[in-house]
Amino acid sequence: MSIKILHTADLHLGSRMRSLGQDAPDFREALIQSFDNLMLQAEIEAADLFLIAGDFLEMAEIEDRELNRVYDLLVRKHSFPILLAAGNHDPYSSASPYATVFSQIPQFYVFPADKIVRLDFPKLDASVWGVSFSSLYQMTTMLPDVGTEASILVYDGQEFLEEGQESDSPLKNKIGLVHGELLAGSAAKGAYNPLPSQLIKNSSLNYLALGHIHKASDLPQGDYVDRRSVLAMYPGSPQGLSFNEAGQRHALMVEFDNSEIKSISPLASASRMFIELNTELKSSQSDQQIIDQIVAEVKELDPDKYQRHSYKIYLKGEAPTALNVQRLAASLRDLIGHVKLIDELRLAENVEELGEEQTLRGLFVRKILDALDKSDNEADTDDLQQALRLGVAAFRGEALEDVY
């Protein structure tokens, strides 16, 4: 029989995301929404198991009300069990919410940190081995492999119960769940549960659900699933935490049958995306034309939800003379939401060359370029860029309109 497993990791619920400044609250909410969405999608897709490979919570930053919110999502009615192996951002200890308030949630199991546990799911013909981090670092390898278990629990549809006498051998579909760093070859050096790929290759697992690396592993191309390339997978963070985690994110839906992976596919999961894009301007464009162009480009990327995302837009091409980038950003914020503009426009003239001139214009250009060099904040840089554009245009003899 075939079973479906949803695999996610690195949600970092409760992260303060300080680097996002005023956008932070929207993206903190997006973290929780992405988890909520994944639970709903697991229901729709009829997933049999929901696996979280660590860093579910940002334990040092999550507020009590957020923790309650996560609790409420976990106790909401769902048809699949949720298993969690804690990572370095949410280590398992006796003081952790995992061991206290979260320990009584039906259909939810957090692996302990001091031993490897095997969970049997007789109806799914599946066994899952897992173990949690106990602290920030985990210098020695812990691979939850077949035979490493110190105890066995059996899932009865609601709860995880002590193993009876009858089945002491694992079921057909063998899955490992752990947070850690996958390493090439056989060396085991690393501070976050170093996992040499050689060791994994030699394991008896059919699939190892990993977390820690926020970039998703490459997915199989086409229908053919090569066991070696999908044996250990990172789903990546389901909701980006910064522009380093741009674009759509996903969880993995893994289909097993009789010890074999049948398919592995991405399940889109980001509630809000970080999107970087370049827009090419011409010096003849009016402000309204520029605004229309950028809004059209953004809508093309996501016609329905384009106002939810955070954009870093690089202005390229030739600069319209009196363009006020800060004012442009304000207009765009009204229309598309979170926007940051990066001014990489060039002047019609070669400024470096102008700066060499022994003229008043040369002196002006040198002074501005010098100040741009020293500028360490965006607002100043923006003002200086505009001053350069306006100054050079004035030397050119252009009448400057729309300047204040």
Outline where 279-376 has alpha helix (H): 287-301, 325-336, 351-354, 360-374
Looking at the Cβ atoms of 217 and 293, the one nearer to Mn ion is 217
Region of 206-214, 237-245, 267-275, 333-341 interacting with Mn ion (CB under 5 A): 206-214
Structural contact between residues 114 and 159, judged by C-beta atoms closer than 8 angstroms: no
23 near Mn ion, judged by CB under 5 A: no
Paired strand residues for 208? 176, 232
Choosing from 3, 17, 39, 87, the residue that interacts with Mn ion (CB under 5 A) is 87
CB of 58 to Mn ion, least distance (A): 10
* Residues in CB range of 142: below 8 A, 6 or more apart: 116, 131, 178, 180, 193
CA distance 348 to 38: 50
CA distance 63 to 307: 27
For residue 366, which phi and psi values (nearest 5 degrees)? -60, -45
Looking at the Cβ atoms of 55 and 66, the one nearer to Mn ion is 55
CB of 88 to Mn ion, least distance (A): 5
Region of 85-93, 168-176, 315-323, 360-368 interacting with Mn ion (CB under 5 A): 85-93
Looking at the Cβ atoms of 112 and 211, the one nearer to Mn ion is 211
CB of 212 to Mn ion, least distance (A): 4
Looking at the Cβ atoms of 213 and 323, the one nearer to Mn ion is 213
Count the neighbouring beta carbons within 10 Å of the beta carbon of residue 193. 26
CA distance 64 to 71: 10
Structural contact between residues 248 and 270, judged by C-beta atoms closer than 8 angstroms: yes
Among residues 96, 191, 86, which one has the least CA distance to residue 132?
Answer: 86
88 near Mn ion, judged by CB under 5 A: yes
Structural contact between residues 54 and 88, judged by C-beta atoms closer than 8 angstroms: yes
Please, which of residues 33-72 interact with Mn ion by CB under 5 A? 55
**What three-state secondary structure class fits 166?**
coil
CB of 180 to Mn ion, least distance (A): 9
Looking at the Cβ atoms of 87 and 170, the one nearer to Mn ion is 87
Q: How many residues bind Mn ion (CB under 5 A)?
A: 4
Choosing from 4, 212, 250, 309, the residue that interacts with Mn ion (CB under 5 A) is 212
Please, which of residues 227-286 interact with Mn ion by CB under 5 A? none
Region of 86-94, 235-243, 298-306, 325-333 interacting with Mn ion (CB under 5 A): 86-94
Looking at the Cβ atoms of 35 and 160, the one nearer to Mn ion is 35
Residues engaged in binding Mn ion (CB under 5 A): 55, 87-88, 212
